[in-house]
Amino acid sequence: MDLKYIKGIGEKRAEAFKKIGVNNLDDFAEFIPRDYIKKIKIFELKSNNDKLIAICGKVTNIKIPRKSNHPLIIHIEDETGIAEIPLFGGAEFRSKQFRMNQEFLFCGKPEFTFLSDYPRINYRDHLPVNLSDTNDREFLKYPFLPVYELPGELKKTWIKVLSLSKILFSAFKILSKESNVLNNEGIPPDILTNLKLINKKTAVLRINFPLTETDIEESRRRLAFEELFYLQILMSIRKVINKKENKGIIFEKDSCELYETFKNAIGFELTNSQVKVINEITEDMRSNSVMNRLLQGDVGSGKTVVALYSMLVAVKNGYQAAIMCPTEILAEQHYFSITKICEKLNITTELLTGSYKGKDKKIKYEKIESGEAQIIIGTHSLIQEKIKFKKLGFAVIDEQHKFGVIQRAKFKEKGLNPDMLIMTATPIPRTLSLAYYGDLDISTIDEMPKNRLPIKTFLRTNEEKSKVMEFIRNEINKGRQAFIVYPIIDESDKLDLKSAIKEYDYLRNIIFKNDEVGLLHGKMTQEEKESIMERFKQNDIKILVSTTVVEVGIDIPNATVMLVEEAQRYGLSQLHQLRGRIGRGAEQSYCILLTDNKSEETLERLKILCESNDGFKISEKDLELRGPGEFYGVKQSGEIYFSCTDLYKDKDLLELAKIHSEKIINEDCHLRMEKNQQIKENFLKKYQDSINLINVA
């Protein structure tokens, strides 16, 4: 049915709907409210409230103000009382929209003032209704009105909150009777019964027009389960097909001899956790399936040596291994620490970044191509077209969130089905890793090296800043170094940058005028950045004023202070990651979070950091407070988009979705069985790009 015939739409609005991808009635079935307006009786208007409410009644008074800048006042009466609604902006014109005794639905936020005799509503929207019309009467029976995103295209046609919810009401009325779209049940019936979930049709109708709050939650969870189920189907297919059909390298030699020499070369005891993940990785390497493993662990938990050992196993088996890092600074750092160990084991290493030009570059390319370089450490330069590896068998990505899916794939293509190890910057809550990395196997380091003193974290206000500076001076005098981080979230924000530079000048010229202060920000060239980092590493610079560019991977064991200005502007995981820059040496380290923000919520949030050094706990909390969209370190992949799922609340559903989808895919990974045809159809509708994946012969 053409949209324009639906009540309230017409030609113009139908065009607008088409522009946002709603071409026919069935497309409305995908609409999910972002919120609800509760419909109440006037006597229930009790106190100020920040939530939108709606009332329905007839106009009993239209007071045109004497002064033109005063609002027009409308009185609305239902069987329980009278409410007053001030309308600003052109009283004369606005008054023409209302007639006495005409019936309306009004929505807005309740507001009480001593200035009026009646409860007031802070106007948001209104809609004329006709109680002798059956459609209107039915529409008004529902106690919650759905609120949807209103794209610009729709706003242009004067569709507002209430008109859109009435349009959707008419649409769903027709859909429920005349269309099959709601009968296309997404979840296999045995799972529905097993998990006591309501059917799709009921869920869609109820989430849009609920009768009770329970309806909302029950339908939301039903639809969330479907989202998670198909996502897990996708993840399971990738995992199973990858394992079954791509034959990987068998790294047979995993000699104890290597392990012993390695242990001697690194100069410290591996933690139990490191040993555990090394075993998980090398077991994968011995098998003939391609490894795709995510290695997660808190900042400073020692992921690099784990990666290094695995690379050595590959080299011992006659293959090359490579590690790709997001920045040159990090690549160089890894190059130096890895080379130090490899020299003892007679293994050759090579560093490849964008900085090498001319002859140097050529020589490096040749060494990689001839196989003379056994372990290659680099940046994005590694995945350039020109680079050819002799025999790349093992590929590591450090700080994976800085790389996209395509870069990951390009890296893989440099070898012949190499085993891949993907490392994260910060711990990710289990739900997030299941949802976003469900196609990978996961190894977790959940223990810190024993020689670490836990970092002490404090919350301070600007009033106490001089004391804080004194404290930093003290640490500098003891020979330590400090980071001072400024909140430039968006490096192109000139104002922010200006204030960081101003503060830098102040620190350099006044507070720490006898010490070397350095500045590091994203607008500097790579060379400038590197020279600053190098000088900080050499302990030539004592205090590094910086934006969040320092946040990733840098290892400066002598730095013992991390001062974060305007800490409220960061997420918990990001702060934890920043804090991870210190506490890497034997001395006690301190993190100071500076904020003048008084909001209880902010303070509660920041206190979590003062009380815990546990990255997993912190990331759970971050997920709860800010949601996955804000989450630092999670791939922002277009393919994963939730409209009903709340990864924090729906943990249990995710686990269930995983179990049920795995069962189906383990039995029928190409979805060829008769009983799985409906799943296949729905799956391909959601993940069209996966068609090649399941259609291979």
Binding site for Mg ion (CB under 5 A): 553
609 touches ligand ADP by CB under 6 A: no
* Nearest distance from C-beta of residue 285 to Mg ion, angstroms: 21
CB 73 within 8 A of CB 115: no
Please, which residue, 304 or 443, has the CB nearer to ligand ADP? 304
Select from 121, 241, 270, 315 the one that contacts ligand ADP (CB under 6 A): 270
Residue 518 site contact among Mg ion, ligand ADP, none (CB < 5 to 8 Å, cut-off depends on kind): none
Please, which residue, 616 or 683, has the CB nearer to Mg ion? 616
Cα 486 to Cα 425, 526, 527, 549, 582, distances in angstroms: 20, 19, 21, 10, 16
Neighbouring residues of 117: CB distance < 8 A, sequence distance ≥ 6: 84
Dihedral angle over CA of 455, 579, 309, 348, nearest 10: -120
56 has which bridge partners? 105
Question: Which tokens in the block code for residue 12?
Answer: 């113009």
By CB under 6 A, the residues from 5 to 44 that bind ligand ADP are none
424 touches ligand ADP by CB under 6 A: no
Q: How far apart are CA 96 and CA 98, in angstroms?
A: 5
Region from 297-305, 352-360, 402-410, 625-633 binding ligand ADP, contact rule CB under 6 A: 297-305
Select from 110, 186, 297, 415 the one that contacts ligand ADP (CB under 6 A): 297
577 touches ligand ADP by CB under 6 A: no
Select from 179, 301, 431, 676 the one that contacts ligand ADP (CB under 6 A): 301
* Nearest distance from C-beta of residue 629 to ligand ADP, angstroms: 25
DSSP character for 345? Answer: T
Q: How far apart are CA 217 and CA 210, in angstroms?
A: 10
Region from 97-105, 112-120, 192-200, 294-302 binding ligand ADP, contact rule CB under 6 A: 294-302
Region from 301-309, 592-600, 622-630, 672-680 binding ligand ADP, contact rule CB under 6 A: 301-309
Q: How far apart are CA 521 and CA 518, in angstroms?
A: 10
Backbone φ, ψ for residue 488 (5° rounding): -100, 95
Residue 449 site contact among ligand ADP, Mg ion, none (CB < 5 to 8 Å, cut-off depends on kind): ligand ADP
Residue 347 site contact among ligand ADP, Mg ion, none (CB < 5 to 8 Å, cut-off depends on kind): none
Region from 92-100, 262-270, 632-640, 682-690 binding ligand ADP, contact rule CB under 6 A: 262-270
Please, which residue, 213 or 269, has the CB nearer to ligand ADP? 269
* Nearest distance from C-beta of residue 375 to ligand ADP, angstroms: 15
271 touches ligand ADP by CB under 6 A: yes
Buried b (16+ CB within 10 A) or exposed e, 168-206: bbbbbbebbeebebbeeebbbeebbeebebeebbbbbbb
Backbone φ, ψ for residue 246 (5° rounding): -100, 115
Residue 299 site contact among ligand ADP, Mg ion, none (CB < 5 to 8 Å, cut-off depends on kind): ligand ADP
* Nearest distance from C-beta of residue 694 to Mg ion, angstroms: 36
Q: How far apart are CA 628 and CA 125, in angstroms?
A: 32
Buried b (16+ CB within 10 A) or exposed e, 300-317: bbbbbbbbbbbbbbbbbb
Cα 660 to Cα 228, 348, 417, 447, 684, distances in angstroms: 11, 47, 29, 32, 18
Select from 120, 221, 293, 303 the one that contacts ligand ADP (CB under 6 A): 303
Q: How far apart are CA 673 and CA 329, in angstroms?
A: 52
DSSP character for 198? Answer: P
589 touches ligand ADP by CB under 6 A: no
CB 211 within 8 A of CB 279: no
Question: Which tokens in the block code for residue 352?
Answer: 């490849």
CB 78 within 8 A of CB 40: no
Q: Which amino acid is at 41?
A: K
* Nearest distance from C-beta of residue 297 to ligand ADP, angstroms: 5
Exposed/middle/buried for residue 127 (C-beta within 10 Å: 0-12, 13-18, 19+): buried
268 touches ligand ADP by CB under 6 A: yes
* Nearest distance from C-beta of residue 591 to ligand ADP, angstroms: 16
* Nearest distance from C-beta of residue 668 to ligand ADP, angstroms: 39
* Nearest distance from C-beta of residue 449 to ligand ADP, angstroms: 3
CB 333 within 8 A of CB 398: no
451 touches ligand ADP by CB under 6 A: yes
Select from 73, 74, 164, 305 the one that contacts ligand ADP (CB under 6 A): 305
| Contact code string over 431-450 relative to ligand ADP, x by CB under 6 A | ------------------x-
Region from 170-178, 266-274, 539-547, 620-628 binding ligand ADP, contact rule CB under 6 A: 266-274
Select from 57, 302, 615, 633 the one that contacts ligand ADP (CB under 6 A): 302
Select from 163, 304, 546, 595 the one that contacts ligand ADP (CB under 6 A): 304
* Nearest distance from C-beta of residue 333 to ligand ADP, angstroms: 8
Q: Considering only CA atoms, which of 169, 40, 158 is closest in space to residue 109?
A: 40
Please, which residue, 216 or 382, has the CB nearer to Mg ion? 382
CB 520 within 8 A of CB 546: yes
Please, which residue, 61 or 339, has the CB nearer to Mg ion? 339
CB 578 within 8 A of CB 562: yes
Q: How many residues are recorded in the chain?
A: 697
Q: How far apart are CA 591 and CA 595, in angstroms?
A: 13
Task: Give the footprint of ligand ADP on this chain (CB under 6 A).
Answer: 268-271, 274, 297, 299-305, 449, 451, 555, 584
